[in-house]
Amino acid sequence: METMVESTVQLERFGYLPVENVQALASKNLDNIPSRYIRPEIESDVVSADESLQIPVIDVSKLDHEDEQKKLHFACKDWGFFQIINHGVADEIIEQMKTDAQEFFDLPLEEKMVCAQVQGHIEGYGQVFVVSENQKLDWSDMLFLIGQPVHLRDTRFWPTNPSSFRETMDKYTTELHKVMIQLMKLIAKNLGTDPEMLLSLFENEIQAIKMNYYPPCAEASKVLGASPHSDATALTLLLHANEVEGLQIKRDQKWVPVKPIPGAFTVNVGDMLEILSNGEYKSIEHRAVVDPEKERLSIASFHNQKMGTQIGPLPDLVKTNKALYRTIPVEEFRKMKLTSKQDGKFMIRKMKL
């Protein structure tokens, strides 16, 4: 019988096509960006100019109050995105994570390539979900690591330069797991389901960290740092690691720029939570744009159900309501995700009944 580790490793063994390092490409100061990065379709996109239109802000220190719990429910149901403040993660851990990530991406390419992806693995330094020679490419590089549980970490992809990186990552991922559990308890309460049942799906969660580096681009209006997509996770906690903005979410057929609050995390409902909630909460399409002059750096923490569980509407929520999504093993869900080009709400379309 397979062990959980073997099952997880096999799920990650899918080949992605190698492409040129974008940071190195950007350093050439090309007059013309390669055509695979140019997105003619975004010329007609409408970006909201209403600066008052911002995602909700949740004060985690007040979540024992009913009013703040209602705000969380509204944020998950109406927006699918929100920022959290007073979340309990120490400033020094956040700042050190930002510093270590920046120092890694500042290294010469040959030093970063020590952590490069190898064929058949999603982890490491490079790009991800490039499955076709004709696929349009994102103007970004990334470092993708498994953070939790500890026994699934593949440390050959964990940088040793900067020297503090591994210790910082260990502290950071541990603290974000705690924040996720705290939010999930309140989400269960807001959904009217048993918190212990929901939390049991995340006891040994698969937590992945994706550090995104978006180089400046002279033709920034023609490229995307991240293509429009929804996250195939339960919750994503995003840290904006420098002052450059770029995250946009889709709302009422417009792209709404997110204005990050210093020290806050931007949280979004993922496909898993939309399915678990039987559609009560919505996983929202989002994308990243790039800056013509400045680099952007963000750190996403993806929180997923543990292996060996079923993903589908929570039983409490379909006693009197029709199930809107299929129920399948998490392993099958992850295989679907990892073997297909990710665009729009791909996983939700696959799971709808």
Which of 240, 286, 337, 345 is the catalytic position? 286
DSSP string, 219-249: TGGG--SEEEE--SSSEEEEEE-SS---EEE
Angle between helices 4-12 and 330-338 (to 10 degrees): 20
Is 231 part of the annotated catalytic residue set?
Answer: yes
According to DSSP H, which parts of 141-242 are helical? 165-191, 195-200
Which of 121, 136, 177, 229 is the catalytic position? 229
User: Beta strand 57-59 with 81-85: parallel, antiparallel or unpaired?
Assistant: parallel
CA separation for the pair 110, 124 (Å, rounded): 14
Beta strands in 76-151 (DSSP E): 81-85, 124-126, 141-148
Structural contact between residues 314 and 281, judged by C-beta atoms closer than 8 angstroms: no
Which of 87, 210, 240, 345 is the catalytic position? 210
| Contacts with 285 (C-beta within 8 Å, 6 or more apart), sequence order | 228, 229, 230, 249, 250, 344, 345
Is 343 part of the annotated catalytic residue set?
Answer: no
Is 73 part of the annotated catalytic residue set?
Answer: no
**Residue whose entry in the numeric block shows the structure tokens 């918190």:** 195
| Contacts with 145 (C-beta within 8 Å, 6 or more apart), sequence order | 123, 153, 154, 157, 158, 169, 208, 209
Which of 100, 138, 141, 231 is the catalytic position? 231
- Residue closest to 99 by CA, chosen among 10, 2, 167: 167
The total of other beta-carbon atoms located within 10 Å of residue 311's CB is 24
Q: In the structure encoding, which two tokens stand for residue 36, read together?
A: 């695979």
Backbone angles phi and psi of 249, in degrees to 5: -115, 150
Helix (H, G, I), strand (E, B), or coil: what is residue 165?
helix
DSSP 116: B
Q: Which residues are part of the catalytic machinery?
A: 210, 229, 231, 286
